[in-house]
Amino acid sequence: MLLFTNARLIDPDTGRDESGALLVENGQIKELFYGGNPDLGVKTYDCGGNCLAPGIVDIGVKVCEPGERHKESFRTAGLAAAAGGVTTMVTRPDTIPTVDTPETLEFAKARGAEMSVVRIAQMASLTKARAGREMVEMGFLKDAGAVAFSDGDNVVADTKVLGRAMTYARSLGALVMGHPQEANMSNGAAVTSGKFASLRGLPGVSTMAERMGLERDLALVEMTGVAYHADQISCAAALPALRRAKDAGLDVTAGVSIHHLTLNALDVGDYRTFFKVKPPLRDEDDRLAMVEAVAEGLIDIICSMHTPQDEESKRLPFEEAASGAVGLETVLPAAMRLYHAGALDMPTLWRAMSLNPAQRLGLPGGRLGEGDPADLVLFDPDAPFVLDRWSLKSKSKNTPFDGQRLQGRVLKTYVGGREVYSL
Amino acid sequence: MSFRAKHLLGIEHLAPDEITALLDLADQYVDLNRRDVKHSEVLAGLTQINMFFENSTRTQASFELAGKRLGMDVMSMAMQASSVKKGETLIDTALTLNAMHPDLLVVRHPHSGAVNLLAEKVNCAVLNAGDGRHEHPTQALLDALTIRRAKGRLHRLSVAICGDIAHSRVARSNILLLGKMENRVRLVGPATLMPSGIAEFGVEVFEDMREGLEDVDVVMMLRLQKERMDGGFIPSEREYYHRYGLDPEKLSFAKDDAIVMHPGPMNRGVEIDGTLADDINRSVIQEQVEMGVAVRMAAMELLVRARRSSPREVLA
């Protein structure tokens, strides 16, 4: 038994953000004491007024295992997650080879269980080799533990294939995660079109491509009745369609990456490839619209879209450089930017980072509820620091926040009541 | 000396007084280049390496001649045929050449921003000879010099840039330069060949060529970049010529003394009428080529001088 005293408890389920104490027993949250610090005669840990919140459940982490272990492994991703307050990594299937058979899923699962200090939930691809032609063995994969089916940022361009896969997924009660994008329009694009793209001479894509992709996917959801999660919504143009689908009662949720909430297209500056992500960073108006959409709950989930890339794949001309940014260790301090800016309060942030992703995938926890697993993050929301990318625990150091001033440090992370990280 | 830039990567980071200083010096080199003995020792003993990752005969020749006339040892490398094919990265290639202690690197690359990337990794002056659709600063500077000599000034002029703006680095550099020098810039071309966000560039956009050319002082034609076309930007060459090709009839909408420019190489009968291009009363296309050498000489000299006056670099 361990009693966390003098904590600022943040529970997205009840919306409470109050001081109190929390008792952990056998890896579970046993009891909460709002407003006081009871003397239970058990071992205590004084949180010193810092925030104690449910651990982050991060949908869409790329671990690079199997296939690219030089970029990231289950061990390093786990350490990075723990250092970032992420207690469950929901891993992407876009590895080499793709996680598209029960066998590869079993391999990844075994590696994860052996090497990672945080929990792992696996996603599998929707089509074989993410090629968009034949659906995977969804039934076997679901039985083997796949929590969702996604082709990552490969859009299933053939609408008939996607429709059938969705129909099949619906019959199994499986969740499909889409990447809303009109594939032909976004082909070859490196940035969002507009004045900045033109000045830099970089090929751009209109935000309309995202809207079109989402409209198509949502029409198929209406047709098939499948449970659908849009991995990343990044522009205001896509929001009306999302709102219509939710108002119509479709089983739809949407995510946004922390990068699209805290950075904009101009951050690319003079061709800084660490700011090349998919979809590309948007205009400031779009960023503000995304923050607003999270605040009102239209966008349900914030993720890090952790995508490790080695130095070589980023030290290239912008168009040729690989997309993606690591995010496990920066998602919390970046989210604190939104908190300190007064845009999102703590319970709202943790609803998007813990409760909603856990509930969408049917995982326990994501909140401070009695009987829930004691997956916890203790953090100081105000602690300032300058991020040095070489201090990251990820094997890859491709963070857009390198050298930036951030506020919010993780002090301790617990998975099932066990301490997995301490500053 | 008001020229402060360490590299010439684009017009974007140049100040108007730097542009003027460069053009003033280039004027002197025009005189030198018209003499029998076209040689200066101002950069004698220095080494210039030309790295062209994209084919170019004219620009490479111009840079080569400019360096030689200033007394430099000049080496031109056809990068397409070299180690790039063997999988060497751009940065490794740059570092290899950097180890040979060049004083100037002249780089052309098919990708926007590639020259910026390279400039970060070497410790000599880098001159952008065109990168992707981004910038081609010496082209804009030679165009500016041509205009200034023809019109007697480089401000309060109305300049129409016509054609494939979307794929043109020449257009970007010219829009920036002409804007910095306080001219009115008009862009003329089909909507499919206009870059996105064009409304925010501080220019006027015309889809009708006659309207666009009305009362302008300068008509700047662009090459229709056929090799850049994925297809589907324009219906056909002949329709393009009909609507946007510069012929005497369309030119009659411009001022009577308007000059006609083209960065070359020209597609006669696609974007410009052949006879008009050769009309010495209107066309300054040959002068542009002449100014090119002078402007490049001036740019090289100023870059080297800016480095020499830099407190961090001590030269023997």
Three-state helix/strand/coil letters over A325-354: ECCCCCHHHHHHHHHHCCCCCHHHHHHHHH
Q: Does A206 sit within 8 Å of B132, measured CB to CB? A: no
| Cα A204 to Cα A190: distance, rounded to the nearest angstrom | 6
pLDDT of res. B2? 78
User: End-to-end CA distance of chain B, in Å?
Assistant: 21
pLDDT of res. B237? 86
Q: Please state the three-class secondary structure of B187-252 as a single string.
A: EECCHHHCCCCHHHHCCEEECCHHHHHCCCCEEEECCCCHHHCCCCCCCCHHHHHHHHCECHHHHC
Per-residue pLDDT band at B313 (split at 50, 70, 90): very low
8 Å CB contact between B137 and B165? no
Nearest CA in chain A to B9: A270
Nearest CA in chain A to B201: A195
Measure A127 CA to nearest chain B CA, in Å. 29
Q: Does B201 sit within 8 Å of A201, measured CB to CB? A: no
Q: Which residues in chain B are contacts of A199 at CB distance < 8 A?
A: 12, 172
8 Å CB contact between B187 and B198? yes
Quick check: B316 pLDDT over 50?
Answer: no
Which of B118-132, B164-178, B216-230 bottoms out in mean pLDDT, i.e. has the lowest?
Answer: B216-230
Indicate the Cα dihedral angle B294, B295, B301, B305, nearest 10°. 150
pLDDT of res. A278? 96
Q: Given the cut 0.95, state whether the ipTM is greater than it.
A: no
Per-residue pLDDT band at B82 (split at 50, 70, 90): low
Q: Cα B17–A267–B3 angle (5° rounding)? A: 15
- In the DSSP assignment, the letter for residue A87 is E
Show which residues on chain B lie within 8 Å of chain A, measured between beta carbons.
12, 89-91, 109, 111-114, 116-117, 131-135, 166, 169, 172, 195-198, 200-201
Facing residue for A315 by CB, picked from B91, B169, B197: B91
pLDDT of res. B235? 87
| Cα A67 to Cα A108: distance, rounded to the nearest angstrom | 11
Per-residue pLDDT band at B231 (split at 50, 70, 90): low
Q: Which residues in chain B are contacts of A200 at CB distance < 8 A?
A: 112-113, 134
Q: Which residues in chain B are contacts of A315 at CB distance < 8 A?
A: 89, 91, 117
CA–CA distances in Å: residue B261 to residues A350, A406, B33, B147, B284: 61, 52, 21, 9, 6
8 Å CB contact between A49 and A362? no
pTM of the model: 0.93
Long-range contacts of B89-94 (CB under 8 A, 24+ apart): B89/A312, B89/A315, B89/A316, B90/A316, B90/A317, B90/B53, B90/B114, B90/B117, B90/B118, B91/A315, B91/B117, B91/B118, B91/B121, B93/B51, B94/B51, B94/B118, B94/B121, B94/B122
| Cα A232 to Cα A260: distance, rounded to the nearest angstrom | 9
Which tens digit of pLDDT belongs to each residue from A106-148?
Answer: 999 999 999 999 999 999 999 999 999 999 999 999 999 999 9
| Cα B157 to Cα B255: distance, rounded to the nearest angstrom | 11
With a CB cutoff of 8 Å and minimum separation 6, the contacts of B35 are: none
Per-residue pLDDT band at B80 (split at 50, 70, 90): confident
Who wins on pLDDT, B156 or B82?
B156
Measure B130 CA to nearest chain A CA, in Å. 11
8 Å CB contact between B159 and B184? yes
Single out the residue of A346, A357, A355 nearest to residue A304, CA to CA: A357
Average pLDDT, chain A: 97
Q: Which residues in chain A are contacts of B197 at CB distance < 8 A?
A: 193-198
| Cα A58 to Cα A332: distance, rounded to the nearest angstrom | 11
pLDDT of res. B83? 55
Per-residue pLDDT band at B311 (split at 50, 70, 90): low
Nearest CA in chain B to A315: B91
Per-residue model confidence as pLDDT tens for chain A (423 residues): 999 999 999 999 999 999 999 999 999 999 999 998 999 999 999 999 999 999 999 999 999 999 999 999 999 999 999 999 999 999 999 999 999 999 999 999 999 999 999 999 999 999 999 999 999 999 999 999 999 999 999 999 999 999 999 999 999 999 999 999 999 999 999 999 999 999 999 999 999 999 999 999 999 999 999 999 999 999 999 999 999 999 999 999 999 999 999 999 999 999 999 999 999 999 999 999 999 999 999 999 999 999 999 999 999 999 999 999 999 999 999 999 999 999 999 999 999 999 999 999 999 999 999 999 999 999 999 999 999 999 999 999 999 999 999 999 999 999 999 999 999
What are the structure tokens assigned to B215, written together?
Answer: 């009362």
Facing residue for B196 by CB, picked from A194, A270, A315: A194
Q: Does A312 sit within 8 Å of B197, measured CB to CB? A: no
Q: Which residues pair with B261 in a beta bridge?
A: B220
Nearest CA in chain B to A196: B197
Per-residue pLDDT band at B199 (split at 50, 70, 90): confident
Q: Please state the three-class secondary structure of B223-239 as a single string.
A: CCCHHHCCCCCCCCHHH
Measure A192 CA to nearest chain B CA, in Å. 10
Q: Which residues in chain B are contacts of A317 at CB distance < 8 A?
A: 90, 109, 111-114, 117, 132
Q: Which residues in chain A are contacts of B198 at CB distance < 8 A?
A: 195, 198
Nearest CA in chain A to B168: A201
pLDDT of res. B309? 77
| Cα A186 to Cα A107: distance, rounded to the nearest angstrom | 33
Distance of CA A325 to the CA centre of its chain: 12
With a CB cutoff of 8 Å and minimum separation 6, the contacts of B20 are: B2
pLDDT of res. A172? 97
Measure A203 CA to nearest chain B CA, in Å. 9
Show which residues on chain A lie within 8 Å of chain B, measured between beta carbons.
193-202, 204, 206, 270-271, 312, 315-320
| Cα A51 to Cα A332: distance, rounded to the nearest angstrom | 12
